[in-house]
Structure 1
Amino acid sequence: MAKTKSEGAPSAADGEIPATIWERLDAPRTARSTLTHDRIAEAAVALADAEGLEAVSMRKLAERLGVATMALYRYVDSKDELLELMTDAVSDPATLTADPEDWRAVFGEAAHRRRATALAHPWLPAAQSQVPATLTPSRNQVLERMLAALEPLPLTGDQKMQLIRALDAYARGAADGEVNQRMMLERRGYGADGDVRLLLRANMQWLLRSGRYPRFAALVTDGLAPVDAVREFELGLQAMLDGLAARFGI
Structure 2
Amino acid sequence: MANTKNACGPGEQDGEQGGAVQPSIWERLDTPRGGRTTLTHAGIAEAAVALADAEGLEAVSMRKLADRLGVATMALYRYVDSKDELLELMTDAVIDSAALVADPGDWRAVFGEVAVRRRETALAHPWLSAAQAHVPTTLTPSRNLVVERMLGALEPLPLTGDQKMQLIRALDSYARGASDGEVYQRMMLERRGFGFDGDIRILLRSNMQWLLRSGRYPRFARVVQDGLAPADAAAEFDQGIEALLDGLAVRFGI
Task: Give, in whole Å, the separation in 1 of the partners of 2:16 and 2:55.
Answer: 33
Task: Spell out the pairing of 1:165-244 with structure 2 (5 A cutoff).
Answer: 165-244=169-248
AA at the equivalent of 1:85: L
Deviation at 1:14, TM superposition (A): 5.2
The letter for the 1-side match of 2:73 is T
- Aligned equivalent of 2:94, options 90, 94, 117: 90
> 1:43-70 CA distances to partner (integer Å, 9 max, x unpaired)?
0000000000000000000000000000
The TM-score, its normalising length taken from structure 2, stands at 0.93
The one of 37, 51, 55 aligned to 2:41:
37
Structure 1 unpaired stretches of 5+: 1-10
Q: Which amino acid in structure 1 is aligned with residue 185 of structure 2?
A: Q
Q: State the 4+ residue runs in structure 1 displaced beyond 4 angstroms.
A: none
1:63 and 2:56 aligned: no
Q: Distance in 2 between matches of 1:96 and 1:235?
A: 20
Give the alignment partner of residue 102 of structure 1, picking from 100, 106, 122: 106
Residues 169-196 of structure 1: per-residue CA shift (max 9 Å, x gap): 0000000000000000000001000010
Superposed CA deviations along residues 73-103 of structure 1, whole A, max 9, x for unmatched, are 0000010000000000001111210000100
Distance in 2 between the 1:32 and 1:120 partners? 34
Counterpart of 2:130 (choices 117, 120, 126) is 126
How far apart are 1:12 and its partner, in Å? Answer: 3.5
Secondary structure of 1:134's aligned partner:
coil
Question: How many residue pairs are counted as aligned between the two chains?
Answer: 240
Give the TM-score, by structure 1 length: 0.95
SS at match of 2:81: coil
Q: Tell me how far apart the structure 2 counterparts of residues 124 and 41 of structure 1 sit (CA, whole Å).
A: 13
1:90 alignment partner AA: V
Which residue type is aligned with residue 28 of structure 1? P
**Matches of 1:59 and 1:205 in 2, distance apart?**
48
Show structure 2 runs of 5+ residues with no match: 1-14
Deviation at 1:134, TM superposition (A): 1.1
Q: Residue 141 of structure 1 aligns with which residue?
A: 145
CA distance in 2 between partners of 1:178 and 1:13 (Å): 39
Residue 234 of structure 1, CA deviation: 0.4
Cα distance, 1:220 vs. partner? 0.9
Q: Aligned with 2:16: secondary structure? A: coil
User: In 2, Cα distance between the equivalents of 1:127 and 1:233?
Assistant: 22
